[in-house]
Amino acid sequence: MKIVGLTGGIGSGKTTVAKLFAELGVPIYIADTEAKKLTNTSKTIRRKLIVLLGDKAYENETLNSKYVAAAIFNDSDLLKKVNAIIHPKVAAHFKRWVSKQTGPYCIKEAAILFENGSYKKCDLTILVTAPKDERINRVLKRGSITREEVEARMANQWTDSKKIKLADIVIRNTNMEATREQVKTIHSTLLK
């Protein structure tokens, strides 16, 4: 089975693109969602994060994501240490998940596919891009974080120009119908 990596910066619309592939029957693995589940269910991750970030990292055995986000998104070294705890567990979980899938290909949607090097284990990569202001506005509409927090997260992610150099396919996500057509075209190509 081919593994297609799907990525894009915060607010680019990578999750929307993943949903479009899912509508076509493609199995989708959302790495961020699975990572969140694992941070709440893995005793190893919990123990290591508490050692690294302190007791406030968890509230009632659930990751205190606001606390953790505030700590790591302004400290790139701390972010790397947190990723080094979580990513190996996610990679192992993904490998088990892939072994249970059928079909010609599946998609691994991951915000930092290039940054963490996991793109190297993909047969093909798709990068979703959008203009910075549009991305910020999309995230602000979710209502969960401030403009400053969005910009801090963007600052910790690679720029689109850096990611484009590694991507096999780029989807410029500014018009939903155009994006839907690009997904259909990519899907048809991957089925051949």
Q: What is the CATH number of the domain that holds 171?
A: 3.40.50.300
Q: Which residue among 47, 77, 100 closes a domain?
A: 100
Specify the residue for token string 């088990």. Answer: 96
Same domain assignment for residues 69 and 108: no
pLDDT tens digits, one per residue of 135-147: 999 999 988 788 9
Share of the chain above pLDDT 70, in %: 100
Nearest by Cα to 3 from 171, 121, 90, 101:
121
Report pTM: 0.88
Nearest by Cα to 10 from 179, 191, 146:
146
Domain range holding 120?
Answer: 1-27+104-192
- pLDDT of 158 above 80: yes
pLDDT tens digits, one per residue of 37-91: 999 999 999 999 999 999 999 998 899 988 998 888 778 899 889 989 998 999 9
Same domain assignment for residues 39 and 4: no
Relative orientation angle of helices 14-23 and 176-191, to the nearest 10 degrees: 50
Strand partners, 66: none
Same domain assignment for residues 110 and 91: no
Q: And the tokens for 106?
A: 């599946």
Amino acid code (one letter) for 86: I
Cα separation of 132 and 98, whole Å? Answer: 33
Specify the residue for token string 């048809």. Answer: 188
Same domain assignment for residues 112 and 20: yes
